[in-house]
Chain A
Amino acid sequence: MKTEVNICGIKFKNPVVTASGTYGFGDEYGQFYDISRLGAVCVKGLTLAKRDGNIPPRIAETPSGILNSVGLQNPGVDAFISDYLPRLIDKGATVIANISGNSIEDYCEMAKRLAGTKTHMLEMNISCPNVKQGGMAFGTNPDTVYEITKEVKKYAAQPLIVKLSPNVTDITQTAKAAEAGGADAISLINTLTGMKIDINTRKPILYNNIGGLSGPAVKPVAVRMVWQCRNAVSIPIIGMGGIASGEDAIEFMLAGANAVAVGTYNFVNPNACIDVINGIEDYMKKHNIDDINDIVGKVILNG
């Protein structure tokens, strides 16, 4: 039984990746299992300089989901390289560095600084809804997506994944723009913007007023978008949005994802990633699938 997937030349021992921002730098969930068992670890979103993040409350629970507005709190790309990356490499993880910037120059500079390191891949976050500058502003306009991808590719030594925003009318436009700009892969979806109001105080729960929705609530939207993108681009897709089980992961892969990421559910079940890996294997046994790659995009449409 083969669970290994190859995402633009990087081998993942299985299709399961952690979703950026839900997994820190691997230290916390490393208390529950050996993180080298994962396909890859995608780390907390990095910025050029350290960021303190947003004023709390930063989280609100909603039906089958959560809204967050962490605001990219992180130690900065240099501290990641010196303090966190060596530990991840020592533990045998395949590492995806997630990068965010206020300007195209920021993204290029981070790609440059990561070029000489043992980071295996870069994920360019142009879809964060929780920062005032940059973030999602880059990710919702196809022309900007094309331009930023093309520029960052000039400096990226590792394969470049572009993480797409679902807060657009037609995600295939930004997916195609990323591919045309030279992206090696795309990942989707980032969070959907949302809001929750306390009706007694009439104030939003989040200090930031709005935040990003994730968790099982967004899964059908994510599956639909992965399927649309599979039909629009030929580069690999890492699918995510509410994955909690092996069955959920299979659904994304049938829709066209070559790999999947587990995010919010880590908070519910600290062994979620391992349970998803086991669930994928169970499905393969049950359906006599020898190679997980054989199911990618194999949804059988009606009519």
Chain B
Amino acid sequence: MSLEVIGSVIKIAEIAPNIYDMLIKTDMAYKCKPGQFANILCEGGNALLRRPISICNAGNNMVKIIFEKKGEGTKLLSEYKEGQNINMLIPLGHGFDLGDYKNPVIVGGGIGVPPLLYLAESVNNPSIFLGFRSKSNIILKDEFEKCGKTVISTDDGSFGHGGLITVPLKTHLENNKCDVIMACGPTPMLKGIAALAKEFGIPCQVSMEQRMACGIGACLVCACKTKNKDGENFSHVCKDGPVFDAAEVFFE
């Protein structure tokens, strides 16, 4: 079995400032589960390591990724053209546990939003909460609204609720049934969500991020401090995660 595949870029577009949406044709699409990621070779420049990018959606021999142009690797990736080959290790990691939840709540922030789309399409009638910096940074609004009731917040109040997404999330939890929270976003946001989940006694799954190299569990660089029955130790985002039980994670 090989996880290394060569896909083909079908479409690439900038959907918000520095946010790119790329559709890739690959016969490995059917293997991808919500919350998993691809480790992508960013060719044509000086990026040595692959870049881990979450899978936004998958199916029909297509994988969709949405990434932020931030450093050398993602800059190169943003310059890929339609028809170009793309070398990926896919699918990697341990995704969301889809369970059989009746009232799932999905919470995302910023560039942590994309991997939740595939999740939202895969669970039963989710309540969705998405936070962005500003109105111009909002992505995938229509797609999420097709999956369930979607509440949006912006840090600057230019759209939806002003301020942190945890505020409308808390109101929702106070007034509605919820049997799981599934989240991806910046660590301070995840920390706040994990605290709410604990307060309301709801299981919570969080997708973590860390600087990564191999993507398959060999190099041990993407450490995430966790605690479980064996005590505290460093788990690895690429293999043990990226999705962890929030109760087991130390949010630094």
Contacts and interface: CB of A to CB of B under 8 A. Distances in A.
Instruction: State the majority secondary structure of interface residues on A.
Output: loop
A128 to B, nearest CB: 13
Given A21-B219, A64-B48, A52 B4 contact: no
A270 B47 contact: no
A65 interface: yes
Interface in B53-75: 72-73
B220 interface: yes
Nearest to A270: B4
B49 A70 contact: no
B214 A58 contact: no
Interface residues of A, number: 36
A44 B220 contact: yes
Contacts of A194: none
A287 B223 CA distance: 45
Interface string A186-219: 0000000000000000000100000000011000
A57 B219 contact: no
Contacts of B72: 61
Contacts of A216: 48
A31 B3 contact: yes
A267 B224 contact: no
A73 B234 contact: yes
A278 to B, nearest CB: 16
A60 interface: yes
A215 B47 CA distance: 12
Interface string B207-231: 0001111111111111111000000
B4 A60 contact: no
B211 A56 contact: yes
Contacts of A220: none
B217 A24 contact: yes
Interface string A30-62: 011000000000001000000011111111110
Contact of A53 (B46, B216, B220): B220
B121 to A, nearest CB: 28
Interface residues of B, number: 33
A68 B225 CA distance: 18
Q: Is the interface of B mostly helix, strand, loop or mixed?
A: loop
Contact of A56 (B47, B48, B210): B210
Contact of B221 (A56, A65, A271): A56
A3 interface: no
B213 A267 contact: yes
A32 B39 CA distance: 15
Nearest to B51: A61
B219 A270 contact: no
A167 interface: no
Contact of B219 (A22, A27, A32, A52): A22
Contact of B211 (A59, A264, A271): A59
A27 B224 CA distance: 21
Given A21-B219, A24-B218, A268 B48 contact: yes
A119 to B, nearest CB: 20
B221 A266 contact: no
Given A56-B210, A270-B3, A61 B221 contact: no
A21 B150 CA distance: 45
A215 B60 CA distance: 38
A90 interface: no
Interface of A: 21-24, 27-29, 31-32, 44, 52-61, 63-66, 68, 70, 73, 205, 215-216, 264, 266-268, 270-271
5 contacts: A24-B220, A29-B218, A73-B220, A205-B211, A270-B3
Given A22-B218, A57-B221, 9 more contacts: A24-B219, A24-B220, A28-B214, A28-B216, A56-B211, A59-B49, A60-B211, A61-B49, A61-B73
Pick the 10 closest A-B CB pairs, nearest first: A59-B221, A28-B218, A24-B218, A58-B221, A56-B223, A267-B214, A267-B213, A28-B216, A57-B211, A59-B211
